[in-house]
Structure 1
Amino acid sequence: MSTSEQQQNAPQDMLNVVNFLRSSKAGLKNRVGVLNGKRVDYFKGKSAVKALLSPAYAKTKNTPKVTSEAEAHTLLHSIIPFTFFLRVDRGEPVGSASSPKTLQINQMQLFKPEEYYAWFYEGSQWTNYVGGIAMVAVILAGVMFPLWPPILRLGVWYISLVFMGFVGLLLAISVIRLIFYVITVFAASPGIWIFPRLFADVGFVDSFIPLWEWDLPKKKSKKKKSADKSDKAKNVSSGINTPDNAVDEVDDSGMSAPNSRSGSRAATVEDVPDEIS
């Protein structure tokens, strides 16, 4: 029986699990290897276990529930007979150290988290079909642009003008905000940024909020502050003197003797009389 026939005999819930693992939602780390002279994707077993225990898998429908690593191992082992993926042994690289490594199918097919498994299933292809059709449509539309109706060509021209105007506006704002910042560095230190979040990884509207902001240094994180406080507390408990926390010695009477340690450490020089011969 061929690989495609075995895959067609798989239950629907198993097929849903495989489609999840093959999709980007699973976050499965796929690597590229060479099997029988062809490039194939392969993954490590523990990466698939992690994907089945993720919140993304818990949201899937018509799939077996997985609540522990043992259940994930059992489910992945039950998928192997349908040849969606098979256990492989990884060998040396084909060429240089950075080139794909050679793969060889292992005769003992079972699932172990530390082993590697090669894909023999490409997943759902409808996105590739839609992308290919869209690409062909765009190319045909561009080639047949002279045959477009005058109204459509005029509309495309206006849209291109708006796009180029928007790009030019962003460039103008970037230059103006840089010039204004340089001026304010000398006139009103530490300087003012116009649209400080213009190039931040935020939404379009949030890029222009706030309107301006002082160029102040970033504050230390709370983690660093708490770590500093814990270090200081350890130094105080252990009796170690630090610049911020000085520990004085206390005698039996309850009086502090701050100079007792420094006095004991200071070196003294005494005059010694010459011996009488």
Structure 2
Amino acid sequence: MASNAGSSDVSKYETEEGLKEVAAFLRGRNGMPLRPAIEVDKRVEYFKGEKLVNFLVTNTKKGRPAIKTEEEAIRVCKALLRHEYFHRSEKVKGGGAGERHLEVSSNNQFDPAGYFTWIFLGSQRLSHLFTALIIIGFLLITCFPIWPRILKVWMWYLSVTLLVIMVTFLTIRCLLFFFAWIAGYEFWVLPRLFDETLAFAESFTPVWTFEKGSSGQGYYRVVAVGGVIAFVIWAYNQPTDFDTFISAQSDFMSDLYAGKLLSDVSEKSKQDIDKPKVQSLEDILKELDEEDEPSDEEQEAERRMEELLAGELDEDERYEEEEEEEEDEDGDKAAPEQEDKRPQGGGGEL
């Protein structure tokens, strides 16, 4: 009698509605833990058959299906596989570090020793909510030029603050690794933060790692220590340059939060959005005056031409003066010669 009652209780989970209930529980917040992998160039979540069977039998979380024995759990698992809530997969050797690669198995029979990949994604309400938020955020960013100035300023402060926090964190992270590496160890805070193959939540695990460094890097460590010592000596002996650098960084941060780097040209465009885009008579006359005025290049060319002409005139004047001087000299030389050629008659007449 007890066996028949248990059988009738499990049979409801073999219907379409019952299977949806079981799958929703397994894929929900209280579901079984899963592992990420890559299958057919897509990120998927998989599990081992015996893990699913044990979870259905032993878990005590709220909303769990009323499954009490291993045989009942296997029946439900076979029904889930038959209705394509998940499919069987095989592990593939290779792949990048930390990545698991799977391929679809040709044997689609349930086996507690096999691996299975979820097809059913569970409730998509949260995913739809995030999609809607992304679309709304995109539209808001697109309309940024017509935002009120107060919102622009707050967005500027938020962006600058996040940027400063990120740069500060990365700087401290690199410095911690550098000094630990000099000591012969590798210390990383959030070591998988920039791993693009991982999901968002997995990028923040583990929080830190501390391992012994690779051998054969003693020479590089000595060079790094020498570089640190050289920098400290330079900063100590060049206080003016280093202080100028620190002061420049401080001024830059002050300008960031003072909003001096935030222009508000778009605010005027938003205020004038309803005005006709027709030039006034004053603007037209101003443009005509600007067109009539010679450009800087034209003024420079005209000035050079005047200088050249003035230089040529000076040369002509000098040439004429030289000719006049030569004529004067020739005249002075000709006068004595004429005096010598005059007849001398005083004694002959007597």
Given the two structures, how large is their TM-score scaled by the length of structure 1? 0.43
* Higher fraction of helix: 2
TM-score by length of 2: 0.35
Based on CA coordinates, which of the two structures has the bigger radius of gyration?
2
